[in-house]
Structure 1
Amino acid sequence: MPEAATDAILTAEGLTRHYGSGDARVVGCEDVSLAVRPGELLVVRGRSGAGKSTLLRLLGGLDRPTAGTVRIGAVDVSGADEDALVGLHRDVVGFVHQEFGLLPTLTAAENVGLPLRVARRDAAERDARVAQALASVGLEGHENQRPGQLSGGQQQRVAIARALVSPRSVLIADEPTGQLDSETGAQVMDLVVALTRERDVATVVATHDPLVIGMADHVVELRDGRVRPAGDAD
């Protein structure tokens, strides 16, 4: 684990995920340890199939590890029950997917407001938070547009606004620029970095995009599900 990680809000120790058993066993990730502090951007890099998405799902509590632990603040994510995980995803962790994950029949505002509906916030509070979230990603005036009426970059901005519409401590993004051209991808990542710094969010991004890697405070490189030592050559 990185040095001086005592103030980290997201930590993983010995994180391992295997699928199947015996000769059919597949390693998703193996013995991964890391730590992310508030306001930091950690990038997980590696080729397709290296285990990036598996690791992010484990960090966000979307999958259970075979061994090892994930902690977000005082919560042992890897051992949490379903009720605790629901609360974690509602209040603490925002997840952004490469494919945006927006509901096509809902407007931008309605998509962003979904977590607040789940949390049963009252309408006035919900509307205020949604407006603020859309403004923070530069989408004022697009509230009533549906995903099909928005560009790819705008759709990803809506997804980011939804992930951060409630105060979140952790943001996890899986290839957030993978569907975008280089210029739009740079704009989206500038936004992610700005929100990370301004809101003291611990952010983890999986990517193979050199531009994103260059923005990172720390980089973890995976190969075959394992952390590749610094300076290790192919």
Structure 2
Amino acid sequence: MTTLRAESVSRIFEGRGGGVHAVDGVSLEVAPGELVVVTGRSGAGKTTLLNLLGGLDRPTSGRVLLGDDDLSTLGEDGLAAVRRDRVGYVFQSFGLIPVLSAAENVEVPLRLQRTDPAERARRVAEALDLVGLGAHAAQRPYELSGGQQQRVGIARALAARPQVLLADEPTGQLDSGTAATVMDLIGELVHARGVAAVVTTHDAALVRRADRVIELHDGRTREPETATAAG
């Protein structure tokens, strides 16, 4: 069963010199519990592709389907509901709110969903335990290491129990050892929770942790390679 599908998706940005094809005719499918890694140099279109897959941007042509829902047919309210309830995001810059504790950061998407307070507290504790930070719930981002902050970001993305997890260069600000730990964690959680995940990276050392690899070059996909998942 496919959770996420892109069909001949293109995104053209208009500039003074004409149209720039940031993404050019990309098609892919991601199944529940599958970790797909998208590689490519800076400017290859990785971030633009994630924005299209997550409903943060609309394709110039082609379509993105989440389950049976065609995102191109949804209005702004419908897309906002998809982003809130069905897609989790992990960012390279962590994206944590500095004045909030780890638990309060994880709680943000659940507040947006208007989750019952008791259930909200339970899910926050569960998510922090999943990423090994249950004992750090009261700490603020500046009191945590970079790797711990990214794990809070992962917990926040998963707390709302999304169908899809999108991570844009999630290890870009981490040292190689911490990056490997974070990628292993993402893989374990994706497989255990049956989430369809797409992760972008330019770090070749992390590619082997994927179930499947797609390479982007000038907005186009090359033949996918099979990677051996760690563990």
Give TM class, smaller chain. over 0.9
Partner of 1:173: 167
| Aligned AA (1:53) | T
Rounded to whole Å, the distance in 1 between the matches of 2:224 and 2:154 is 31
- Judged with a 3 Å threshold, the aligned counterparts in structure 2 of structure 1 residues 75 and 64 are, in CA distance, closer, same or farther, namely same
SS of the residue aligned with 1:164? helix
- Asked if residue 83 in structure 1 is aligned to residue 74 in structure 2, the reply is no
Q: CA deviation at 1:22?
A: 7.3
Rounded to whole Å, the distance in 2 between the matches of 1:13 and 1:169 is 19
- Asked if residue 136 in structure 1 is aligned to residue 130 in structure 2, the reply is yes
Q: Which sections of structure 2, spanning at least 5 residues, go unmatched?
A: 226-231
Rounded to whole Å, the distance in 2 between the matches of 1:167 and 1:160 is 11
How does the TM-score come out when normalised to structure 2? 0.94
Rounded to whole Å, the distance in 2 between the matches of 1:50 and 1:156 is 24
How does the TM-score come out when normalised to structure 1? 0.93
Deviations 1:169-224 (A, max 9, x none): 11000000101001101111111000111011101000011232111111111111
1:104-143 equivalence runs, <5 A: 104-143=98-137
Match of 2:63 among 42, 65, 69: 69
Partner of 2:6: 12
SS of the residue aligned with 2:109? helix
Rounded to whole Å, the distance in 2 between the matches of 1:89 and 1:23 is 33
Deviation larger for 87-96 or 174-183: 87-96
Q: Which sections of structure 1, spanning at least 5 residues, go unmatched?
A: 1-6
Rounded to whole Å, the distance in 2 between the matches of 1:86 and 1:74 is 17
Q: CA deviation at 1:26?
A: 1.4
Partner of 1:213: 207
Partner of 2:141: 147
| 4+ runs deviating over 2 angstroms | 21-24, 228-231
Q: CA deviation at 1:229?
A: 3.8
| Aligned AA (1:189) | M
- Judged with a 3 Å threshold, the aligned counterparts in structure 2 of structure 1 residues 158 and 230 are, in CA distance, closer, same or farther, namely closer
- Judged with a 3 Å threshold, the aligned counterparts in structure 2 of structure 1 residues 63 and 38 are, in CA distance, closer, same or farther, namely same
- Asked if residue 182 in structure 1 is aligned to residue 211 in structure 2, the reply is no
- Asked if residue 60 in structure 1 is aligned to residue 72 in structure 2, the reply is no
Q: CA deviation at 1:21?
A: 5.6
Rounded to whole Å, the distance in 2 between the matches of 1:97 and 1:79 is 27
Deviations 1:58-79 (A, max 9, x none): 0011001000000010111133
- Asked if residue 51 in structure 1 is aligned to residue 45 in structure 2, the reply is yes
Deviations 1:111-156 (A, max 9, x none): 0000111111122111111000000000011111111110000000
- Asked if residue 199 in structure 1 is aligned to residue 174 in structure 2, the reply is no
Q: CA deviation at 1:43?
A: 0.7
Rounded to whole Å, the distance in 2 between the matches of 1:229 and 1:204 is 17
How many residues align? The count is 225
| Identical columns (%) | 57
Partner of 2:228: none
Rounded to whole Å, the distance in 1 between the matches of 2:48 and 2:165 is 16
| Aligned AA (2:129) | A
Q: Note the aligned Cα RMSD (angstroms).
A: 1.3
